[in-house]
Structure 1
Amino acid sequence: MTVQLRRYEIEPGRMADFLEWFPTLLPVREHFGFQVLFALAEEEHSTFTWAVSLDGDEAAFREVEERYTASPERARVFETFPDCVAGKEIGFARSVV
């Protein structure tokens, strides 16, 4: 299993907009085989952190992510995206406990 950790800086005052939109993304991710492990909003610092996993190695993850990113299903979900992410950090992570 490969885990991708995603941390977003949300524009001040826009967390509610993002949190309203975010659940619409999950069925599309799941359709492509991804599993959301957790999603946490830290409103005090306007950050949103979540982890998504996929069975297989990092190369397989990247391949599926490319198909997901180019899909019409994802494009439809992003038609309503509130465009409030000011910055992001995305990388692969592993458990250390």
Structure 2
Amino acid sequence: MVAQLRIYTINRGMMASWLQLFYEHIRPLHERLGMPVQNAWVNAERTEFIWVRSFNDREEIEAKEAAYFASPERTALGDQPTRHIAKIEVRVMEEVPATAGVS
């Protein structure tokens, strides 16, 4: 499994509306398209929204992201998501087997 740690700096004063948009539209669409959201957190001091979504492998990321952006649901959102976000940082992480390092 591969996961993305996604850190979004949300524009000041917009966290509440971002959370509503995320939980009403963005997360359900990700789930429907096979990009499960593992969890989400808020770092209020830094206005960061941090979330993790997972994939079977790296190759799946590009295809599923393309499907997301091409979907009618995402198109209907227009620039709502991007208006909330000042900065995006994405880190791809690979799962470590439970037996890693065990001899």
Aligned to 2:93: 93
The 8 Å contact of residues 42 and 48 in structure 2, kept in 1 or not, is answered as: yes
Aligned to 1:35: 36
Deviation at 1:26, TM superposition (A): 1.4
Q: Larger helix proportion, structure 1 or 2?
A: 2
Q: TM-score, normalised by structure 2?
A: 0.80
Distance 1:86 1:44 in 2: 15
Segment of structure 1 superposing worse, 60-69 or 3-12: 60-69
Deviation at 1:31, TM superposition (A): 1.1
Distance 2:31 2:41 in 1: 18
SS at match of 1:34: coil
Aligned to 2:101: none
The 8 Å contact of residues 8 and 49 in structure 1, kept in 2 or not, is answered as: yes
| Post-superposition CA distance 1:14-66 (Å, at most 9, x none) | 11111121112111111111110110011111001001012x21011221211
1:68 equivalenced with 2:68 (yes/no): yes
Would the alpha carbon gap of residues 80 and 20 (structure 1) be closer, same or farther in structure 2, given more than 3 Å must change? farther
1:9 equivalenced with 2:9 (yes/no): yes
SS at match of 2:22: helix
Point out the structure with max Rg over C-alpha.
Answer: 2
Structure 1 unmatched runs, 5+? none
Percent identical: 34
The 8 Å contact of residues 8 and 87 in structure 2, kept in 1 or not, is answered as: yes
| RMSD over equivalenced CA pairs, Å | 1.9
The 8 Å contact of residues 21 and 80 in structure 1, kept in 2 or not, is answered as: no
Stretches (4+) displaced over 6 A: none
